[in-house]
Chain A
Amino acid sequence: MWQEEFESSPARDDGIETSTISGVPLQPLYTSEDLPRRAEEYPGQFPYTRGIHPSGYRGRLWTMRQFSGFATAEETNRRYKYLLANGQNGLSVAFDMPTLMGQDSDAPTSRGEVGHCGVAIDSLADMETLFDGIPLGDITTSMTINSPAAILLCMYIAVAEKQGVPASQLGGTLQNDILKEFIAQKEFIFPPAPSMRLVVDSIEYCATEVPKWNTISISGYHIREAGSTAAQELAFTLADGMAYVDACLERGMHIDDFASRLSFFFDAHIDFFEEIAKFRAARRIWARWMRERYGAQQERSWKLRFHAQTAGVSLTAQQPELNIARTAIEALAAVLGGTQSLHTNAMDEVFALPTDKAARLALRTQQLLAYETGVANTIDPLGGSYFIESLTDEMERQAEAYFKRIDEIGGVIPAIEVGFFQKEIADAAFRYQQELEQKRRLVVGVNEFMVDEEAPIDILRIDPRLESEQAERVQQVRRKRDQARCTNALHQLRKAAAGTDNLMPYILDAVRAYATEGEIMHALIEVFGTYTETAVV
């Protein structure tokens, strides 16, 4: 009856795709016939499709965690205090490119990069400044760093020691997800095997020494931003997660000793319902794999906890105020998908790092969602929707199909080495760009609804003098430290790297002796070598 009426009604002929932004075909209507037959699902109960907490956001709202860092440790410290004073309840450190790539600010290849896309950290001295006056026992901190992750975690532990806070009390998250670097963001340094060793070393070390720390944030965000579809983001991220689990099991760890400290990080993109379905499917798949394939006994090992960030790639330089609206919609998807913490992008991040005002607006957007809209009052409010449930199943089905393909290639690392993920992502990115060019998808202000004259907006500028000042600072650290102690610590680290010991205690010793990040990385590179990608277009 309805079907006939629908088919005889005139359809819009604007040529715009009706599939999701990832290309999943959608029906015009979903009914009870599309609902999968399964037992009633509840939040806080396996397989956690409806959330990991029985009380949802009634028990506790998501953590509003704005990623920030720029210029020097001193300036970023001021921004952190500003954000904390404005009601943010967790810190999230953005490092600059040299820090992310494990090199000091005075290295020749750091020129032009120091303090630009994050804060410059060269040694424990900078880390002390970064957290000056911020009690590390009372807040949680997320650190977005990968190849040199172990070093930055050791610096954090060492700063806490100086504040009198034992490592056992520290809470926070280390991104530490090297696989997605090989797959998407490309901030790799060592080859895959020693990279994985460092990841497992830090997970193993934290299991006993820093038990409240989320040792890894297995990230789909960068995979998505690099151009993947939602299903690819979901599948590749969870496949990475399983690769880390496999690596820890090979080390001889027991699944329930580390699984609950694994955390995830997803993109909250603009295709609203698809994103919500993705988050719900992620929890269900992970729970099932943890319980059924890996035999985890403890419930906390089954629960997929995640952080979400709105999609940087969806922001437009054209009519940038629109980015506030985009970000609000994406943040809403993350909340309805049950995120544990959230970063909302600032409207001006398409030009540079955010100004104070733009950063505050982004935070206020989350506060508005949490306190004005009422969306946090009911747990998984879209659960049971014919459409959402059906799309959640579709996401799951697509992810499982990818797991099979990855298995056929021989696992995640072989798939990286043959460029499987890289090609899938590049193809998806190119397909999307073509859809834009052909106006089969519209981006408001970019390929439709443009204006002739764009009003200029204020952006944050990094003082060019900063680079030489920071270079001077790291040179001063090298002059003032106990050189014999530092040299010895680096020597011990090199020796340990050539063996099989867990490297964390050695890195911690080097950090305490004020060895710089670049020096520690260099010691490891001498043993591990470096990795170069075969570029495929």
Chain B
Amino acid sequence: MSATAVRPVRIVVAKVGLDGHDRGVKVVARALRDAGYEVIYTGLRQTPEMVVDAALQEDAQVIGLSIHSGAHMTLFPAVVEELKRRQATDIVVFGGGIIPDDDIATLKKRGVAEIFTPGTPLQEIVDWLRMRFPESTQK
């Protein structure tokens, strides 16, 4: 395959809030890396401010959030708000975890681009990213 001039999409993947359940975030991080994305995993217990800091420092186009503690309605929108405050709303936020259907609609209204729930095939996440960033072909 030929190399392209377009730089690969950079994604900051983060665990927000207090829970330490990192199985999902690690599996997704690996799959995105395998799919050709540049993945930066922040580690555990990130505040919305820390996540946005990392995204700006890393010049990321995407933030992927994972949460399993039920605090998604507070913390996911808090990341979006922080991006607004820092005038970085071009960064796309998506998330995953134990998130009931009703909450997904609300989160989308509040600026989260997509939510992936348990059982989502990894390919679906990759396909979604390819749709959002068609210009940056992967390797």
Contact status A430-B27, CB under 8 Å? yes
**Cross-interface CB contact of B70 among A109, A113, A227, A456, cutoff 8 Å:** A113
Residues of A within 8 A of B43 (CB): 532-535
Q: Within residues 419 to 437 of chain A, which ones have a CB less than 8 A from any CB in chain B?
A: 425-426, 429-430, 433, 436-437
**Cross-interface CB contact of A537 among B30, B101, B118, cutoff 8 Å:** B30
**Which of A55-63, A93-101, A263-271 is found at the contact surface with chain B?**
A93-101
A442 interface residue per 8 A CB criterion: no
Contact status B23-A227, CB under 8 Å? yes
Bound: A100/B78 CA distance, A: 22
Bound: A462/B39 CA distance, A: 34
Contact status B123-A437, CB under 8 Å? yes
Contact mask for chain B residues 86-103; partner A; CB cutoff 8 A; 1 contact, 0 none: 000000000000101100
**Cross-interface CB contact of A318 among B21, B68, B71, B119, cutoff 8 Å:** B119
B22 interface residue per 8 A CB criterion: yes
Q: Within residues 36 to 88 of chain B, which ones have a CB less than 8 A from any CB in chain A?
A: 39, 41-45, 47, 68-75, 78
Bound: A313/B100 CA distance, A: 16
Given contacts A185-B20, A459-B100, A535-B42, contact A116 B70 (CB under 8 A): yes
**Cross-interface CB contact of B118 among A110, A316, A533, cutoff 8 Å:** A316
Bound: A447/B43 CA distance, A: 29
Contact status A426-B26, CB under 8 Å? yes
Contact status B100-A351, CB under 8 Å? yes
Residues of A within 8 A of B41 (CB): 535, 537
Contact status A350-B23, CB under 8 Å? no
Bound: A446/B122 CA distance, A: 12
A443 interface residue per 8 A CB criterion: yes
Residues of B within 8 A of A464 (CB): 73
Q: Within residues 88 to 139 of chain B, which ones have a CB less than 8 A from any CB in chain A?
A: 98, 100-101, 117-119, 121-123
A187 interface residue per 8 A CB criterion: yes
Residues of A within 8 A of B44 (CB): 186, 533, 535
Nearest A residue to B18 by beta-carbon distance?
A97
Contact status A111-B23, CB under 8 Å? no
Contact status B69-A116, CB under 8 Å? yes
Q: Within residues 487 to 537 of chain A, which ones have a CB less than 8 A from any CB in chain B?
A: 532-535, 537
Shortest C-beta distance, B128 to chain A (Å), equals: 15
Bound: A117/B72 CA distance, A: 12
Contact status B71-A113, CB under 8 Å? yes
Bound: A532/B39 CA distance, A: 20
Residues of B within 8 A of A186 (CB): 20-22, 44
A112 interface residue per 8 A CB criterion: yes
Residues of B within 8 A of A104 (CB): none
B33 interface residue per 8 A CB criterion: yes
Shortest C-beta distance, A192 to chain B (Å), equals: 15
Contact status B119-A316, CB under 8 Å? yes
Contact status B17-A97, CB under 8 Å? yes
Given contacts A100-B18, A112-B17, A226-B21, contact A447 B29 (CB under 8 A): no
Q: Within residues 92 to 145 of chain A, which ones have a CB less than 8 A from any CB in chain B?
A: 97-98, 100-101, 109-113, 116-117
A317 interface residue per 8 A CB criterion: yes
Bound: A226/B19 CA distance, A: 13
Shortest C-beta distance, B56 to chain A (Å), equals: 19
Interface centre among A97, A313, A436 (most CB of B within 10 A): A97
A35 interface residue per 8 A CB criterion: no
Nearest B residue to A313 by beta-carbon distance?
B23
- Chain B interface secondary structure, helix, strand, loop or mixed? loop
Contact mask for chain A residues 177-209; partner B; CB cutoff 8 A; 1 contact, 0 none: 000010001111000000000000000000000
Contact status B17-A456, CB under 8 Å? no
Contact status A113-B69, CB under 8 Å? yes
Bound: A446/B119 CA distance, A: 6
Residues of B within 8 A of A98 (CB): 18
Contact status B26-A117, CB under 8 Å? no
Contact status B18-A101, CB under 8 Å? yes
Contact mask for chain A residues 288-315; partner B; CB cutoff 8 A; 1 contact, 0 none: 0000000000000000000000000100
Bound: A188/B22 CA distance, A: 13
Contact status B75-A226, CB under 8 Å? no
Contact mask for chain A residues 446-471; partner B; CB cutoff 8 A; 1 contact, 0 none: 11000000001001001010000000
**Cross-interface CB contact of A187 among B20, B26, B73, cutoff 8 Å:** B20
Bound: A111/B71 CA distance, A: 8
Nearest B residue to A111 by beta-carbon distance?
B74
Given contacts A187-B20, A430-B27, contact A116 B71 (CB under 8 A): yes
A369 interface residue per 8 A CB criterion: no
Contact status A97-B19, CB under 8 Å? yes
Contact status A225-B22, CB under 8 Å? no
Q: Within residues 363 to 409 of chain A, which ones have a CB less than 8 A from any CB in chain B?
A: none
What are the 7 tightest A-B residue pairs by CB atom distance, in nearest-first order? A112-B74, A186-B20, A116-B70, A535-B43, A112-B71, A97-B18, A446-B119
B interface, CB within 8 angstroms of A: 17-23, 26-27, 29-31, 33, 39, 41-45, 47, 68-75, 78, 98, 100-101, 117-119, 121-123
New A-B pairs, 10, CB < 8 Å, besides A116-B69, A535-B22 = A112-B72, A113-B18, A113-B74, A116-B70, A185-B21, A430-B30, A433-B122, A443-B119, A532-B43, A537-B33
A interface, CB within 8 angstroms of B: 97-98, 100-101, 109-113, 116-117, 181, 185-188, 225-227, 313, 316-318, 350-353, 425-426, 429-430, 433, 436-437, 443, 445-447, 456, 459, 462, 464, 532-535, 537
A-B contact pairs, 29 of them (CB 8 A): A97-B19, A111-B71, A111-B75, A112-B71, A113-B69, A113-B71, A116-B70, A185-B21, A186-B44, A188-B20, A226-B21, A226-B23, A316-B119, A317-B118, A317-B119, A351-B100, A352-B98, A425-B23, A426-B26, A430-B27, A433-B31, A437-B121, A437-B123, A534-B43, A535-B22, A535-B41, A535-B42, A535-B44, A537-B33
